[in-house]
Amino acid sequence: MARTTAHPGQDPNYDRFLDATVVEDGRGTTATVLSMLCRLDIDPWGEAAGLARMQESQARRRLADMMSLFADASLPTTARDKVISRLLSFLPRHAALAPTPTPCPSR
């Protein structure tokens, strides 16, 4: 089911990233980026936008820090690195979000 934008700031460009699985949590349910950020009391769309604007190395560190705070995402470092790479691939890069320049009309 596709999520629709219900509130300002919930940019659908981030849906693929926010809906991505981080880990199966300790209760046997899947934890998505959205649920992880909500449990950490972090604005999901604001965080996704911030990560999309960061250089990849900064975004990797930020996601690793958040995952280390998220008790349900206790993964070995090698597995965490793979998860982070996969998650970052779902983010639209800042260049893709910039408005397309409108060409000047010919005279």
Q: 30 forms bridges with which residues in the sheet?
A: 24
* DSSP H stretches of helix in 1-107: 15-18, 33-39, 44-53, 56-69, 77-89, 94-97
pLDDT at 97: 45
Residue pointed to by tokens 């349900």: 72
The region of weakest confidence among 4-18, 35-49, 53-67 is 4-18
6 pLDDT more than 60: no
Between residues 20 and 106, which one has the greater pLDDT?
A: 20
For residue 62, give both structure tokens.
């930020």
- Condensed to tens digits (0 to 9), the pLDDT of residues 63-103 reads 999 998 987 767 777 888 999 999 999 999 754 444 444 44
Distance CA 104, CA 34 (A): 41
pLDDT at 95: 43
pLDDT at 94: 56
State the average pLDDT for the chain.
Answer: 80
